[in-house]
Amino acid sequence: MRGFAKGSYGRFLARRIFKIDPEAKCPSEVHHDGVDFVATDKLVLFGHHFTSIAGTGPIVGPAIAIIWGWVPALVWILAGSIFMGAVHDFGAMLISMRNEGRSIGDLAGDIINPRVKTLFMLIIFFALWIVIAIFGVVIASVFSLFPASVIPVWLQLPIAIWLGFMVYKRGKSHIAFGLIATGLMYATIILGAYAPVTLPAIGPLSTVGSWVILLLIYAYVASTLPVTVLLQPRDYINAFQLCIAMALLLLGILVAHPPMVAPATNWHPDGAPPIIPLLFITVACGAISGFHSLVSSGTSSKQCDNERSIQGISYGGMLLEGLLAVIVIIACGAGIGLGLEKAGIIYTGVDAFNQQYSSWGAAASLAAKIEAFVTGAGNMVAELGLPRNVVITLMGVFVASFAATTLDTATRIQRYIISEIAVSCKAPSLGKKHPATFIAVFTALLLAFSSGSDGKGALSLWPLFGSVNQLLASMALLVITIWLARKNRPIVYTGIPLVFMVAMTSWAMKTNLVRFYDQGK
């Protein structure tokens, strides 16, 4: 996929529209501080960037959108990732690098006007607030559903710190030692498969609530450490993990050759909202996602070593995420037909899909989305002859590891956003590393426990996240389009995606608000 990014459309955008300059000095060099601004090898940065933008987004979106049929979801993913999402990510990263690594929201004040900047920053804060709280619930849910994933996910941290030490302190090869670290991580997966860990409820806290607190503490620590200590090496391991997992999944698809049991189209599923425009906010990551602009302009732009690397990292990263979303469609639409256990009964074929996707309510829950992918993917990989308990653990770790990457990357970006807001409000002391991080984590904690001790309070706002996320994408495209216009460059390549996303997102927001009102929400 990265090769395609260097081919036709990606190369055209880089050379003719955005006009990358290999001689330009990057923020990682000009503002090097060893914590956030660190010039990084493009392969290592690709690992960080991809694992940060991916998270569980390209899993949960397609895993629910397939209820409308696999054809609409597939068409949107292919067209969206190539002509919208990749363009969006590329533009956000390049403009940030041309402006000292500032976030796309902060730059909106210079490129458009201060009022747009204020609106943009508030929407970013709101989106990240939900992400930090909800991804704590995502990981906690994975730990509860698949307790065998607990040991591998937590042991990945010391392995990553060791990798960072060997590469950055001892000067060892990041490829060789990255492979060794990945091998160690897979050894922990085998250990976890035979030694599951269940966290008991602590006092009034539920199991999920206890995990959410521990994960937010982890997010605070991880997001304040220098990127070379944990963030980059852990994401590099996850990049290897992703490549191996995707290779196993593709090989499993070829060997199992499962028939597609999901319908090609299903325009009116039971209880579901209309496919148009809801498809375009349900599948975000995998097609186009506003969160990507925050990663592109929040962390990746501060670590990129040369403008030549932008194309492979941002455009290529989006295309690879599109491929992952396609694999998720196959897992949920075909792999699940190889076997699904519900209440002690094994369902296969179309019956398995109909059990998992009997209605919008049954398929839309967080646990249902994760279960659909892990079960379908596990079925296909198990056809390679691997022990099924190890395969299920591997897929659970796959989901939890990427969610953890998004969790601490989102916390780090939220710290940048709070710092920028604090400077704008003339309260620079609140913008320092630890006060800003405390605000980011504490507000997420308040949201998580707004529903009580179960830690699932963010789920009440989760239905709004799709609209907020795509509104972010629309605003990022607006900033990029105006920037191109001021440079006297063609705007059609960002202008058409801008108009489409504004129209679909506005329509979807109206539809959702009417539905929420009718349901008494």
Residue 134 identity: I
Instruction: Write down the residue that tokens 């799709």 correspond to.
Output: 466
Tokens of 222: 């991880």
CATH of the domain at 320: 1.20.1740.10
Burial of 198 (0-12, 13-18, 19+ CB in 10 A): exposed
Q: Which segments within 287-401 are labelled E, that is strand? A: 340-342, 345-347
Instruction: Please give the pLDDT value at position 502.
Output: 96
Domain span holding position 262: 2-456+463-518
Query: What kind and span of H or E run contains 141?
Result: helix 114-145
Instruction: Please give the pLDDT value at position 505.
Output: 94
In order along the chain (521 residues), what is the average pLDDT of each group of 10 residues? 57 93 93 89 88 81 93 97 96 96 90 87 89 86 85 93 92 91 91 87 84 92 89 86 88 93 93 92 92 92 94 94 94 93 88 90 74 88 87 83 84 90 86 93 93 82 83 94 96 97 94 84 75
Q: Is 340 helix (H, G, I), strand (E, B) or coil?
A: strand
Among residues 51, 31, 299, 34, the alpha carbon closest in space to that of 164 is found at 34
Among residues 419, 413, 398, 460, the alpha carbon closest in space to that of 219 is found at 413
Question: Taking a C-beta distance cutoff of 8 angstroms, is the pair 221, 234 a contact?
Answer: no
Question: Taking a C-beta distance cutoff of 8 angstroms, is the pair 197, 393 a contact?
Answer: no
What span, in angstroms and rounded, lies between the C-alpha atoms of 203 and 324?
A: 40
Residue 178 identity: G
Residue 426 identity: K
The string of DSSP letters for 243-307 reads HHHHHHHHHHHHHH-----S-S--SS-TTPPPHHHHHHHHS-TTT--HHHHHHIIIIIHHHBS-T
Q: Is 173 helix (H, G, I), strand (E, B) or coil?
A: coil
Question: Taking a C-beta distance cutoff of 8 angstroms, is the pair 426, 151 a contact?
Answer: no
**Dihedral (CA of 242, 386, 144, 349) sign:** positive
Among residues 102, 97, 104, the alpha carbon closest in space to that of 21 is found at 97
With left for phi above 0 and alpha for psi between -120 and 50, is residue 422 left, alpha or beta?
A: alpha
- Supply the pTM of this predicted model: 0.87
Number of domains in the chain: 1
Question: Taking a C-beta distance cutoff of 8 angstroms, is the pair 468, 126 a contact?
Answer: yes
Burial of 425 (0-12, 13-18, 19+ CB in 10 A): exposed
CB within 8 Å of 385: residues ≥ 6 apart:
none
Question: Taking a C-beta distance cutoff of 8 angstroms, is the pair 374, 396 a contact?
Answer: yes
Question: Taking a C-beta distance cutoff of 8 angstroms, is the pair 145, 370 a contact?
Answer: yes
Question: Please, what's the b/e burial string for 341-375 (b: 16 or more CB within 10 A of its CB; e: otherwise)?
Answer: eeeeeebeeeebbebbbeeeeebbebebbbbbbbb
